[in-house]
Amino acid sequence: MSELNNNLNKIYKFSGYVAAFFLVLVATFILIGIASRIFGFYIRGLAEYSGYCMAASSFFALAYTFVEGGHIRITLFLEKITGNKKKYLETWCLIIASLFSGYLAFYFIKMLIISYEFQERSEGADEILIWIPQTSVAVGASIFFICIFHKLILTTKNKSNG
């Protein structure tokens, strides 16, 4: 189980690096867009590409941020509760979060498959196949679901051991 924990934590950390990479791409596309207006030429689809990269960055960052404790959680309530009540409340919250994040990941994957089957294109100036940017959102949401479910299993395991 220790090796699995280490490998999953590496995936979460890698996901954070991927999010940072996409954030750098957002800044790059915005700066190129500004420079292109200053010098009087137009690059088709820059606004859309920065939007796609922002979505990718946001979803890849979810798991890493959750592991690092950066998400707003119910810690204000958990700090005031002690003993078994705290363990049960935390487990209940992780169950609810697992259900919601699993639902989110499932429907992002379903949306990706439908977009791929219909070869749907974006409505922007770039007319890119929309499944390409949707892939990063689906992968990021899936990693987030795995992360929350992993935390639920660890919390349940620690509760039964402790």
Written as one string, the DSSP assignment of 41-70 is: ---TTHHHHHHHHHHHHHHHHHHHHHHTT-
Among residues of the chain, what percentage have pLDDT more than 70? 95
How sure is the predictor about 106, in pLDDT bands with cuts at 50, 70 and 90? very high
Question: Structure pTM?
Answer: 0.88
**Element (DSSP H or E) covering residue 126:** none
* pLDDT at residue 89, as a whole number: 86
How sure is the predictor about 15, in pLDDT bands with cuts at 50, 70 and 90? very high
Residue 73 has pLDDT above 70, yes or no: no
Q: Which residues 6+ apart lie within 8 Å of 143 measured at CB?
A: 11, 12, 15, 60, 62, 63
Count of Cβ atoms closer than 10 Å to residue 36 Cβ: 13
Whether the Cβ atoms of residue 94 and residue 152 lie closer than 8 Å to each other: yes
